[in-house]
Structure 1
Amino acid sequence: MRTAVVTGGARGIGAAIVARLRAAGLAVASLDLIAPDAPRDGVLEVACDLADAAAVASAVDRVGTGLGTPVVVVHCAAFQKVAPFADLDPGDWDRTFRVNVDGAFHLVRATLPGMRAAGWGRIVVITSSSYFAPPPGMSHYVASKGALTGLVRGLSTELGGDGITVNAVAPGLTGTENARRDIPEEHFALVRGRQAVPRTGEPDDIAAAVAFLVSDDAGFITGQTLLVDGGESRL
């Protein structure tokens, strides 16, 4: 049985990914600062601040001891705050990059030796369709997702020879609990009107794309960004 690590796996898109990978037969660990709403059978829950390199290394060691060396790595955790660039607090800029970008760096650094030793690995980074159509008040967040997109492209070149693929999944507006609480329905309707598929995306839509990219069937796909936004972007 292969072992997967999912960051930000306690709720929302991350929780859907955890459930989908468990259903696919993987052993799964969730790395998150928060706990899930309810206990999950067969999931190793590890409290971890992705911005802390030592904490990430310790968490990966714990996963290796408890479930086996992780060869599937999904970075879903993100810090997001909406604010005009001129009003952005430097601390929020720093936290955005420390969680979103540095978190990916720490995670890949900690898991890469095991994947190389296995001669097989899958890395998927959750980015955002906002990189392709940036909304106002999110320049810092979009910049972090752009950095992750570049990281995916660079790593795919470096790691392909090791049997490791590296891809990104870019969700559009998704009906997570947090999004439905914080975003007016009028905005969901506006987005649906721009999509080719006129319904709100759900966490399971994103999880399905991730499950494919970490499977054996996706072994010849790397360095790509898969938009999962109902055709809103149509790139």
Structure 2
Amino acid sequence: MQLDKQIVLVTGGGRGLGAAIVRSFAAQNARVIVNYRNSREAAEELATSLGADRAVALRADVTDAGQVAALFSAAEEHFGSPVTTVINNALADFSFNGDARDKADVITWDAFDSQLRGSVKATLHTTQAALPGMRSLGFGRIVNIGTNLFQNPVVPYHDYTAAKAAALSLTRTLAADLGPDGITVNMVSGGLLRTTDASAATPDEVFDLIAASTPLQRVTTPDEFADAVLFFASPWSRAVTGQNLVVDGGLVKD
């Protein structure tokens, strides 16, 4: 299915990376659901700027199955057709601040639980809600947002990294399960992006160090990252599923 025929849900789409992904799909004339939990003003402003026929802002906490079911119903009612494409971008509350991170001797299980719910539970909910519509169409694209930290834990964010690693495992098992339905499931993993709300607390010297370590000699932007998300939703990835594409300017080689 061409991008301009797709109805795309971007969780956490009101700001940061999510907003960049929304704008990238809209630029390809896809119709987009801008999901938000707390960022109502930003999400509605973004959707309004794209036009009511192309975008709608809908609130849901994606860790709540009932809210996710209502989200999908509202999206289908608005656009008159099922969601074809899900981008699991929403991030549990987190700040990439290495100095303030919870170290191994003090981090609590609650921190892990919060991240696992945000990465794995939310992905399970959106996938299950999307399946009836995708199966009716014989087509579906699911793209999960990951991290290069579980390959290169340059800053040991224990809870966040463990949750994203679990999400990669779920990506691959879902790909194996849903492939016969014409549904692909992939992950795009980035490093630190310059700049999102989550990375705003990162000192400039850390960005500079990362840039100096990459072949491209710069830090990846949200717009550049969004390009890879478009690839996994596009017809050019039709034979690709269960994969994890690292988009970090060449910092991580595996």
Superposed CA RMSD: 1.4
Q: Does the 8 A contact of 1:22 with 1:28 survive in 2?
A: yes
Of the candidates 2, 10, 26, which is equivalent to residue 6 of structure 2?
Answer: 2
Q: Does the 8 A contact of 1:173 with 1:200 survive in 2?
A: yes
Q: Does the 8 A contact of 2:149 with 2:155 survive in 1?
A: no
Superposed counterparts of 1:125-136, under 5 Å: 125-136=144-155
- Deviation per CA, 1:149-174: give whole Å up to 9, x if none: 00111111111111111100001110
Q: For residue 182 of structure 1, give the secondary structure of its aligned residue in structure 2.
A: coil
Q: Does the 8 A contact of 1:11 with 1:36 survive in 2?
A: no
Match of 2:249 in 1: 230
Q: For residue 55 of structure 1, give the secondary structure of its aligned residue in structure 2.
A: helix
Match of 1:100 in 2: 119
Letter in 2 for 1:128: T
Match of 1:35 in 2: 40
- Deviation per CA, 1:53-98: give whole Å up to 9, x if none: 1111111111111122101110001123532132224332221111
Residue segments in structure 1 that go unaligned for 5+ positions in a row: none
Distance (whole Å) between structure 2 residues aligned to residue 138 and residue 116 of structure 1: 37
Distance (whole Å) between structure 2 residues aligned to residue 31 and residue 85 of structure 1: 33
- Deviation per CA, 1:87-146: give whole Å up to 9, x if none: 224332221111111000100010011111100111100000112111344111111001
Distance (whole Å) between structure 1 residues aligned to residue 215 and residue 77 of structure 2: 45
Match of 1:44 in 2: 56
Distance (whole Å) between structure 1 residues aligned to residue 46 and residue 18 of structure 2: 15
Q: Does the 8 A contact of 1:84 with 1:136 survive in 2?
A: no
Give the deviation of 1:35 after TM superposition.
2.3
Letter in 2 for 1:60: F
Q: Does 1:57 align with 2:69?
A: yes
> What's the TM-score, normalizing by structure 2?
0.88
Of the candidates 227, 230, 233, which is equivalent to residue 208 of structure 1?
Answer: 227
Letter in 2 for 1:134: P
Distance (whole Å) between structure 2 residues aligned to residue 135 and residue 8 of structure 1: 26
Superposed counterparts of 1:9-28, under 5 Å: 9-28=13-32
Superposed counterparts of 1:139-218, under 5 Å: 139-179=158-198, 181-218=200-237
Residue segments in structure 2 that go unaligned for 5+ positions in a row: 96-100
Answer with 75-84 or 186-195: which moved more: 75-84
Q: For residue 192 of structure 2, give the secondary structure of its aligned residue in structure 1.
A: coil
Distance (whole Å) between structure 1 residues aligned to residue 75 and residue 244 of structure 2: 27
- Deviation per CA, 1:160-205: give whole Å up to 9, x if none: 1111111000011101232553000000011111111111110001
Q: Does the 8 A contact of 2:192 with 2:199 survive in 1?
A: no
Distance (whole Å) between structure 2 residues aligned to residue 141 and residue 45 of structure 1: 27
Q: Does the 8 A contact of 1:170 with 1:228 survive in 2?
A: yes
- Deviation per CA, 1:199-219: give whole Å up to 9, x if none: 111000111001111011110
- Deviation per CA, 1:26-47: give whole Å up to 9, x if none: 1100111122533432321111
